[in-house]
Amino acid sequence: MSIPNRSQQRKDMVSLLERMGISDSRVLQAMGIVERHLFVPEFYRFQQHGDPYGDYPLPIGCDQTISQPFVVAYMLEKMKLIPGEKVLEIGTGSGYVAAVLDEMGVEVFTIEIIPELARRATQALSSRVHLLPGDGYSGWQEKAPFDAIIISCAPTEIPRILIGQLKENGRMILPVGKFSQRLVILKRKDGKIQLKEDLAVRFVPMVKSRK
């Protein structure tokens, strides 16, 4: 079996993202560096089972998936992130999005509800990334407010508590809906909330913890 050339695969993935319309150089650069294959289970690291750099989601165990590269790039680009900003991600999963955010030079806080995935992501991620095993519906009050909140799983409506954890000029992006979902982009400006519906997407549901 030939060993895949990972850096070439990343270059190809980034060129595809550019052709698909992604232009934020910080996002493209970070996705060109982060080793996506290390965030998928070993079974999927080789092409015969699915290419870790292909533009599709892949299973990561516990019935969850690592998001498709285009959707990751699209969501991060929409947040117009600047190095040094504080970002909360909900739904760490494999840790891939958190790793890209970390590579972009923002301060990353990420929450994962499935203990097994939280444990694995902790091992995969740099110690710079702050990971909280638990339910993201209540956000991370002690670390708030955030410049941006990115939700990697789909609630049926926008969790209000999270809006309260955004800074003035803060942004949030999340998929909303049960069967048919849309990305929603939310901005907090002059104390008011602006909402915009965007792409149709498909994410795993944001679940509520059973207490």
**Binding stretches for ligand SAH (CB under 6 A):** 60, 64-67, 90-91, 93-94, 96-97, 111-114, 117, 135-137, 152-153, 204, 206-207
Euclidean distance between CA atoms 65 and 68, whole angstroms = 9
Strand bridging mode 130-133 / 107-112: parallel
Closest CA to 11 of 33, 37, 44: 33
* Minimum CB distance to ligand SAH, residue 67 (Å): 4
Give the CA dihedral 32, 35, 40, 45, nearest 10 degrees. Answer: 90
Least gap, CB of 90 to ligand SAH (angstroms): 5
- Catalytic one of 67, 94, 127, 180: 67
The smaller minimum CB distance to ligand SAH, of residues 60 and 183, is found at 60
Cβ neighbors of 11 (< 8 A, separation 6 or more) are 32
Nearer to ligand SAH, 66 or 108 (CB): 66
CB nearer ligand SAH, residue 169 or residue 205 = 205
Which lies closer to ligand SAH via its Cβ, residue 14 or residue 168? Answer: 14
Amino acid (1-letter code) at residue 28: L
Catalytic, 67? Answer yes
Q: How far is the CB of 206 from ligand SAH (least distance, A)?
A: 4
> What residue is closest to ligand SAH based on CB?
93
Neighbours of 1 (CB within 10 A): 6
Nearer to ligand SAH, 52 or 93 (CB): 93
Terminal Cα-to-Cα distance of the chain (whole angstroms): 48
- What is the Cα–Cα distance from 71 to 194, expressed in whole angstroms? 22
Nearest approach, Cβ of residue 2 and ligand SAH (Å): 27
Q: Burial letters for 135-150: b for 16+ Cβ neighbours within 10 Å, e otherwise?
A: bbbebbeeebbbbbbb
Q: How far is the CB of 65 from ligand SAH (least distance, A)?
A: 6
| Catalytic residue numbers, as ranges | 67
